[in-house]
């Protein structure tokens, strides 16, 4: 309630100051910290243009929940206000049925543009472009171009840093920067001053590749062509930035054995976190049993390596602890790096992580215990006490790993050290050793004392 109070204050203030405004990025960020009902109330208090922008800048999961509290007409009004490449983002956050209904509520021309964008394959840059770029003919003079710019609708164009020179068949033949236009003589033509070798991509190019091309050359917008060389739109800087950040986050999370898209930490609930981690853990769990098989093979071979059955489960147990710890650290370090977690919110994070760890630990413990006592070749044919040990040891170690994995990066940041230093490899190694102590202490009580 403190936060929503602040937001409403900010909005009132903005209204009274006239020119001043709350930035949509800050509003979008704040929306994930309030309930969907409160969020919808905030949006109603804003002018539609600002509400639409805030919605676009809020995390996917937050928007998904919020949209249930906003009537169709209002969402359609937002769609109509937004640049089409942003409007299309909202589709992911509602069912196809509602989306189709909304498209009938907005002007037919906009709906047609949205359908054109949606026809491009998922992940391709063709889906992310805006058709509203500033085009000029090769024979337009600088004077005429400046006059056109003065009359252009400011809401329509996301960027006017580069103007695109198109021939009669809509083929891109050059680019002129606004700077160049300002500095050239008023009677010079676009053809005379343009860069005749503009860098462009095909609309079938992947979004990430297009964004990397743009960042490589330091462009603010990148022209996108169809297969006939006709210019169909531009990828704008804000979208490219977002694609790159999401791609980075996805790669970082994959390194830490977490799958899923680049959603801000606080917008995900415990079920989301559980669902993004379990598939990897089960995969790694299966893989880790091969290490156990190798140990067992040499332990039972005639050379008499003398390995106690208790040892067969060591790779599984330390693997589960290490992998969970690395998932937690990676997730939290990334959220800290992107400033998704504010200083006062660490206790929320630790509580959430402990809850997720309990759920994961219980799941892994169950699977592990079943495996331990199941008959060969799927199980290890161990005694019941061994199954019991696994059923208790795995949750204990996973919760311990989550505690270490969530507290260390936060403590590092509080101490002014880059949390990335408390990185996954160190936490894995630390959890390996301490997890083994938990395992053997439980073993002493459950097995060796019998």
Looking at residues 335 to 354 of the shown chain, list those that interact with a copy of itself (rule: CB under 8 A). Answer: 337-339
Our finding on whether 271 is near a copy of itself (CB under 8 A) is: no
Residue among 12, 92, 298, 414 that touches a copy of itself (CB under 8 A)? 298
Nearer to a copy of itself, 90 or 422 (CB): 422
Nearer to a copy of itself, 56 or 77 (CB): 56
Nearer to a copy of itself, 72 or 139 (CB): 139
Residue among 47, 115, 183, 230 that touches a copy of itself (CB under 8 A)? 183
Q: Which residues inside 200-239 make contact with a copy of itself, applying CB under 8 A?
A: 212, 215-218, 220, 237-238
The Cα diameter of the chain in Å comes to 98
Nearer to a copy of itself, 275 or 294 (CB): 294
Task: Give residue 288's Cα distance to chain centre.
Answer: 29
Part in contact with a copy of itself (CB under 8 A); list of ranges 102-110, 341-349, 351-359, 420-428: 420-428
Our finding on whether 141 is near a copy of itself (CB under 8 A) is: no
448: burial class by Cβ within 10 Å (0-12, 13-18, 19+)?
Answer: exposed
* Contact call for residues 183 and 145 (beta carbons, < 8 A): no
Tokens (6 digits) for 222 = 């990148």
* Contact call for residues 390 and 313 (beta carbons, < 8 A): yes
Nearer to a copy of itself, 18 or 344 (CB): 18
Our finding on whether 171 is near a copy of itself (CB under 8 A) is: no
Task: Give residue 94's Cα distance to chain centre.
Answer: 18
Q: Which residues inside 25-44 make contact with a copy of itself, applying CB under 8 A?
A: 25
Our finding on whether 160 is near a copy of itself (CB under 8 A) is: yes
Q: How far is the CB of 307 from a copy of itself (least distance, A)?
A: 6
Tokens (6 digits) for 18 = 């006239």
* Contact call for residues 298 and 307 (beta carbons, < 8 A): yes
Beta-carbon contacts of 166 under 8 Å, excluding residues fewer than 6 positions away, are 135, 136, 137, 172, 173, 231
Q: Which residues inside 238-267 make contact with a copy of itself, applying CB under 8 A?
A: 238, 241, 245, 247-248, 250-252, 254-257
**Number of C-beta neighbours around residue 276 at 10 A:** 20
Our finding on whether 178 is near a copy of itself (CB under 8 A) is: yes
Number of residues that bind a copy of itself (CB under 8 A): 85
Q: Whose CA is closest to 172, among 180, 182, 181, 162?
A: 162
Q: How far is the CB of 316 from a copy of itself (least distance, A)?
A: 11
Q: How far is the C-alpha of 292 from the C-alpha of 312, rounded, in Å?
A: 5
Q: How far is the C-alpha of 380 from the C-alpha of 373, rounded, in Å?
A: 6
Q: How far is the CB of 242 from a copy of itself (least distance, A)?
A: 9
């Amino acid at each position: 309630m403190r936060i929503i109070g602040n937001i409403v204050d900010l909005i009132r203030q903005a209204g009274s100051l006239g020119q001043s405004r709350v930035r949509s990025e800050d509003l979008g960020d704040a929306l994930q910290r309030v309930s969907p009902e409160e969020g919808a109330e905030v949006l109603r208090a804003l002018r539609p243009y600002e509400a639409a922008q805030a919605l676009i800048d809020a995390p996917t999961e937050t928007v998904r929940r919020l949209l249930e509290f906003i009537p169709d007409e209002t969402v359609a009004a937002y769609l109509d206000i937004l640049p089409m490449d942003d409007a299309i983002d909202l589709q992911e956050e509602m069912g196809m049925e509602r989306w189709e209904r909304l498209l009938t509520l907005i002007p037919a021309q906009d709906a047609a543009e949205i359908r054109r964008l949606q026809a491009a394959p998922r992940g391709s840059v063709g889906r992310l472009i805006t058709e509203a770029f500033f085009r000029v003919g090769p024979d337009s003079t600088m004077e005429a171009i400046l006059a056109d710019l003065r009359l252009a609708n400011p809401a329509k164009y996301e960027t006017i840093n580069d103007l695109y020179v198109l021939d009669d068949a809509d083929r891109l033949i050059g680019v002129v920067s606004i700077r160049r236009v300002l500095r050239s003589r008023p009677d010079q033509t676009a053809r005379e001053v343009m860069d005749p070798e503009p860098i462009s991509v095909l609309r079938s190019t992947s979004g990430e590749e297009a964004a990397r091309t743009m960042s490589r050359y330091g462009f603010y917008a990148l022209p996108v062509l169809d297969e006939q060389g006709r210019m169909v739109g531009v990828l704008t800087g804000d979208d490219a930035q977002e694609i790159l950040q999401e791609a980075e986050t996805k790669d970082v999370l994959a390194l830490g054995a977490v799958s899923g898209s680049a959603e801000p930490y606080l917008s995900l609930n415990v079920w989301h976190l559980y669902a993004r981690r379990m598939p990897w853990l089960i995969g790694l769990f299966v893989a880790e049993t091969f290490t156990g098989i190798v140990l067992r093979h040499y332990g039972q071979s005639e050379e008499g390596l003398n390995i106690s059955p208790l040892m067969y489960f060591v790779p599984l147990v330390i693997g589960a602890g290490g992998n969970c710890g690395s998932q937690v650290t990676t997730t939290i370090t990334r959220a800290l790096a992107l400033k998704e977690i504010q200083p006062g919110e660490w206790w929320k994070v630790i509580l959430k992580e402990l809850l997720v760890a309990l759920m994961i630990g219980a799941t892994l413990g169950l699977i592990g215990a079943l495996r331990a006592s199941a008959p060969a070749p799927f199980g290890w044919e161990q005694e019941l006490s061994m199954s019991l040990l696994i059923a208790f040891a795995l949750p204990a170690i996973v919760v311990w790993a989550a505690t270490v994995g969530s507290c260390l990066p936060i403590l590092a940041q509080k101490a002014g050290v880059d949390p990335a230093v408390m990185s996954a490899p160190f936490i894995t190694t630390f959890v390996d050793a301490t997890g083994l102590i938990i395992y053997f202490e439980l073993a002493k009580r459950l097995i060796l004392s019998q």
